[in-house]
Amino acid sequence: MPGKKNIPPLKKEFPALSRKISKKAIIYLDSACTALKMKSAAREQSDFLLKFGGCAGKRSVHLLSREVEAEFCAARKAIALFIGAKSPEEIVFTSGTTEALNIAAASFPFKKGAEVILSPLEHNSVFLPFYRLSKLGKIKLRIIPLKDFKPDFSAYKKMLNAKTALVCVTRASNVFGGAVDIKKFINAAHKNGAKVFVDAAQYIPTHKENVSGLNADMLAFSGHKMGAPFGIGVLYIKKSLFKSLNSSKLGGGTVKEIAYKGGSYKVDFFKNNAVYEAGIQNYSGAAALRKSFEVLNKIGYQNIRARIQEIVQYACAKLSSFEKIRVLGNRAELKNGSIVSFICENPRFSIVDFNIFLNEYSSKHFVAVRCGRHCADLAVLNSDIKSTIRLSFFIYSSKRDIDVFCVALGAYLKSLS
């Protein structure tokens, strides 16, 4: 396997892989939902919590607080570098992609009649905040048609108009896999004067991204999908955008000064990332996220991609050998992502029964996959597919996982005949 020698002992880095459930080994094929957690990142978080006191943000100025401020700044700086942001100030720490999207939707300065275009692959965490704005009459929501499991670029170009304020595109679908060539979507939006939000939740964990090169205006991802703890994520905001956004969540740490002048209070808010990080933050989570980036960088993204590409191709080939199994998406493009989704065209196939079967069938293995709509109802409703069975991979995944899964799939299919 290419790059294998550069991948550290993963069983040590992911202790959950050594767990047994009812004496069965775990075959974890649900990393797109949430990845197993890295020991280094978990250690970083617990060491941080046990060592440091105080808060960052220059509120308290005693030594303990200054230490936390320094650690938080270092995490911000490192993560800015990892994703190619031009400045650490472009990094806003959030609890995850969902919070980032809610912040973006509530902070964007929509003018009367503004239109927001969403790709048809968007997760509900993208769709719902904008759906609510559309129901409140604040925006008009438009969805790009789906073509060959991807947003139809020609149709999209025709949808862009003078009222388009924002376009949201997912970098990699959590339903159909692959990766979207979003640069052309971004360029077309910019030519039209619109801003672009990129949902990179399924991309950042296994790809090297450069947000400045991509020229995204905003981009979000979640730490828990890349081995970091739950409750930490990033909203990247291009520096030039700060002056026009209005933060939706205010509180401690978001103001330069509050004064009482001429009979009323005057508040001078920050016009940078600080205004999006109201209150005490998840400092230990930020440090742990930095650690998970360090681990991924040490492994090397070329090695990660080579390994996952091989697994994706292997899974496609093995699944396709079953009668009535249809792998979704374009085979040549699937290898650019970390997911393989499929359906079974046998009407007796039940995803509920299959899920139970996967847990019960083998005496040696417990197999975890995800079946359903994957919280991306737009993608499913815009296609002729009701639900999918999704295999998703991270750096610990292996071809053996696919072999074990396929034995169980074969046995289940046989039980239907």
Residue 96 binds to ligand PLP (criterion: CB under 6 A): yes
Candidates 40, 45, 65, 97: give the one binding ligand PLP (CB under 6 A).
97
- Measured at the CA of 93, the angle between CA 87 and CA 95, to 5 degrees, comes to 160
Candidates 164, 170, 281, 392: give the one binding ligand PLP (CB under 6 A).
170
Let me know: does 190 contact 166? Beta carbons within 8 Å: no
H helix or E strand, kind and range, residue 343: strand 339-344
Residue 247 binds to ligand PLP (criterion: CB under 6 A): no
Tokens 């129901």 sit on residue: 135
Residue 382 binds to ligand PLP (criterion: CB under 6 A): no
Query: Rule CB under 6 A: which of 258-317 touch ligand PLP?
Result: none
Residue 338 binds to ligand PLP (criterion: CB under 6 A): no
Distances (CA, A) of 147 to 121, 272, 385: 11, 38, 13
State in angstroms the smallest separation of the CB of 203 from ligand PLP: 8
Residue 119 binds to ligand PLP (criterion: CB under 6 A): no
Tokens 């409703």 sit on residue: 381
Query: For residues 90 and 277, what is the distance between their CA atoms, to the nearest angstrom?
Result: 12
Q: Compare residues 95 and 303 and give the one whose CB is closer to ligand PLP.
A: 95
State in angstroms the smallest separation of the CB of 204 from ligand PLP: 10
Binding window for ligand PLP (CB under 6 A); candidates: 9-17, 91-99, 141-149, 297-305: 91-99
Candidates 201, 304, 343, 379: give the one binding ligand PLP (CB under 6 A).
201
Binding window for ligand PLP (CB under 6 A); candidates: 14-22, 196-204, 235-243, 270-278: 196-204
Query: For residues 38 and 13, what is the distance between their CA atoms, to the nearest angstrom?
Result: 5
Q: Which residues pair with 265 in a beta bridge?
A: 260
Say how many residues make up the chain.
417
Query: For residues 372 and 388, what is the distance between their CA atoms, to the nearest angstrom?
Result: 5
Q: Compare residues 169 and 325 and give the one whose CB is closer to ligand PLP.
A: 169
Query: Rule CB under 6 A: which of 31-90 touch ligand PLP?
Result: 32-33
State in angstroms the smallest separation of the CB of 115 from ligand PLP: 22
> Residue-wise over 344-353: b if at least 16 C-beta within 10 A, else e?
beeeebebee
DSSP collapsed to 3 states, 66-102: HHHHHHHHHHHHHHHHHCCCCCHHHEEEECCHHHHHH
State in angstroms the smallest separation of the CB of 32 from ligand PLP: 6
Q: Compare residues 281 and 303 and give the one whose CB is closer to ligand PLP.
A: 281
Residue 30 binds to ligand PLP (criterion: CB under 6 A): no
Residue 284 region by backbone torsions, left for phi larger than 0, else alpha for psi between -120 and 50, else beta: alpha
CA dihedral 59→60→65→68, nearest 10 degrees, is: -10
Q: Compare residues 222 and 341 and give the one whose CB is closer to ligand PLP.
A: 222
State in angstroms the smallest separation of the CB of 199 from ligand PLP: 5
Q: Compare residues 303 and 338 and give the one whose CB is closer to ligand PLP.
A: 338
Binding site for ligand PLP (CB under 6 A): 32-33, 96-98, 123, 125, 170, 174, 199, 201-202, 222
